[in-house]
């Protein structure tokens, strides 16, 4: 996680933009088998990988009037759902945003776009790690032994949010979803407003029970709540509210337009790394809030 964070930090320190920084960070996490995204994604009920990813960026652009002092926030987004043949779904989400008039693409059309955008395709099996296979087997064994209806959640979804020196705010999220999910199930991580959101006031990325996050529109809600407080308090209040309203478990990371960072979760665990010029990179395992 720290190595992935450094990739984003290097981009921002070199004067790069927030979108490149969150994409580079998420791409590095997708490539690491430890995380449930890209290589190392968890397996669906059929033992296959189906990944979701999305990103959103809000940039201030000069409208031209009022001697160039009129800034108009412009937001763009891209996403893919249930893709099985790309190592880095977040790069494909970027291609959707930058090379099509659409926001969310799935299936054969998304793969065709990958080819056109020069994103290498792989065999679906190449994304399966021994660890993912073991988790999948364990899920069946547990169900057989205890007849539980556990959904096999173990997390590992990845996400990043950033603000750059020009004030652009970006968010990116990528996941293999949940072990044992039905084939074709799409979670929050592919949906703008649920697993990812950015506008002129802030950017957010989510993890946790996708169905609860979708019903609550978690990231949209978190960014909207920034009008009522600082990122840290907003993260806590928004997660508590999600818990109250849906009974679900989730985590969120937020940056606001002044660069203030916030994160909170009510799930088993969530690992977080932060960077700001004053404090450098920091690493946390925040306690769940109740």
Check residue 243 for interaction with ligand ASP (CB under 6 A).
no
Judged by CB, which is closer to ligand ASP: 155, or 202?
Answer: 155
Cβ closer to ligand ASP: 152 or 202? 152
Residue closer to ligand ASP by CB (options 64, 285) is 285
- Judged by CB under 6 A, does residue 78 bind ligand ASP? no
Give the integer Cα–Cα distance in Å for 93 and 5.
20
Tell me: does residue 248 bind ligand ASP (CB under 6 A).
no
Which residue in the set 8, 38, 78, 210 belongs to the binding site for ligand ASP (CB under 6 A)?
210
Residue ranges of alpha helices (H) inside the chain are: 2-13, 18-31, 65-68, 89-99, 107-116, 130-146, 210-216, 218-224, 231-246
Stretch that binds ligand ASP, among 71-79, 115-123, 134-142, 207-215 (CB under 6 A): 207-215
- What are the φ and ψ backbone dihedral angles of 24, each rounded to 5 degrees? -60, -40
Q: Give burial (CB, 10 Å; 0-12/13-18/19+) of 257.
A: middle
* 17 scored as a contact of ligand ASP (CB under 6 A): no
Q: How far apart are CA 247 and CA 104, in angstroms?
A: 28
266 binding ligand ASP? (CB under 6 A): no
Which CB, 22 or 168, lies closer to ligand ASP?
22
Q: Which stretch binds ligand ASP (CB under 6 A): 71-79, 109-117, 208-216, 254-262?
A: 208-216
Question: Which of 185, 257 has the CB closer to ligand ASP?
Answer: 185
Candidates 38, 89, 155, 243; binder of ligand ASP (CB under 6 A) is 155
- Among 166, 198, 281, 217, smallest CA distance to 23 is for 198
Instruction: Check residue 202 for interaction with ligand ASP (CB under 6 A).
Output: no
Q: For residues 61 and 64, what is the distance between their CA atoms, to the nearest angstrom? A: 9
> Minimum CB separation from ligand ASP for residue 29, in Å?
12
- Minimum Å distance from CB 221 to ligand ASP? 15
Name the residue nearer to ligand ASP (CB basis): 5 or 175: 175
Distance of CA 143 to the CA centre of its chain: 29
Residues 78, 117: Cα–Cα separation, whole Å: 14
The residues assigned a catalytic role are 157
Q: What is the size of the binding site for ligand ASP (CB under 6 A)?
A: 12
3-state secondary structure 80-115: EEEECCECCHHHHHHHHHHHCCCCEEEHHHHHHHHH
Decide: 246 and 216 in contact? Cβ < 8 Å. Answer: yes
Tell me if 157 contacts ligand ASP by CB under 6 A.
yes
Binding mask 163-192 for ligand ASP (x = CB under 6 A): ------------x-xx--------xxx---
Which residue's CB atom is positioned nearest to ligand ASP?
210
> From the CB of 142, what's the least distance to ligand ASP, in Å?
18
How many Å apart are CA 81 and CA 277, to the nearest integer?
35
CA distance 52 to 46: 17
Footprint of ligand ASP on this chain (CB under 6 A)?
155, 157, 175, 177-178, 187-189, 207-208, 210, 213
């Amino acid at each position: 996680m720290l190595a992935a964070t450094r990739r984003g930090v290097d981009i921002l320190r070199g004067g790069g933009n927030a979108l490149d920084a969150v994409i580079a960070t998420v791409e590095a996490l997708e490539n690491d088998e430890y995380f449930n995204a890209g290589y190392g994604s968890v397996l669906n009920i059929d033992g296959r990988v189906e990944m979701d990813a999305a990103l959103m960026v809000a940039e201030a652009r000069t409208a031209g009037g009022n001697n160039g002092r009129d800034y108009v926030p412009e937001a763009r987004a891209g996403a893919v759902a249930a893709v099985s043949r790309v190592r880095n779904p977040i790069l494909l989400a970027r291609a959707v945003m930058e090379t099509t008039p659409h926001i969310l693409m799935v299936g054969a059309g998304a793969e065709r776009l990958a080819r056109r955008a020069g994103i290498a395709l792989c065999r679906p099996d190449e994304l399966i790690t021994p660890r993912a296979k073991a988790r999948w087997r364990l899920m069946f064994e547990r169900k057989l032994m205890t007849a539980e209806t556990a959904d096999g959640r173990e997390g590992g979804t990845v996400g990043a949010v950033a603000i750059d020196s020009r004030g652009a705010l970006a968010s990116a999220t990528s996941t293999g979803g949940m072990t044992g999910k039905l084939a074709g199930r799409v979670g929050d991580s592919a949906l703008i407003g649920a697993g990812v959101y950015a506008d002129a006031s802030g950017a957010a990325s989510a993890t946790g029970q996708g169905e609860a996050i979708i019903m609550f529109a978690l990231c949209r809600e978190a960014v909207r709540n920034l009008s009522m407080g600082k990122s840290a308090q907003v993260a806590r209040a928004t997660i508590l509210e999600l818990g109250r309203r849906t009974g679900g478990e989730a985590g969120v990371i937020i940056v606001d337009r002044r660069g203030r960072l916030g994160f909170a979760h009510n799930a088993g665990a969530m690992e977080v790394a932060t960077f700001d010029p004053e404090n450098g990179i920091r690493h946390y395992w925040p306690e769940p809030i109740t």
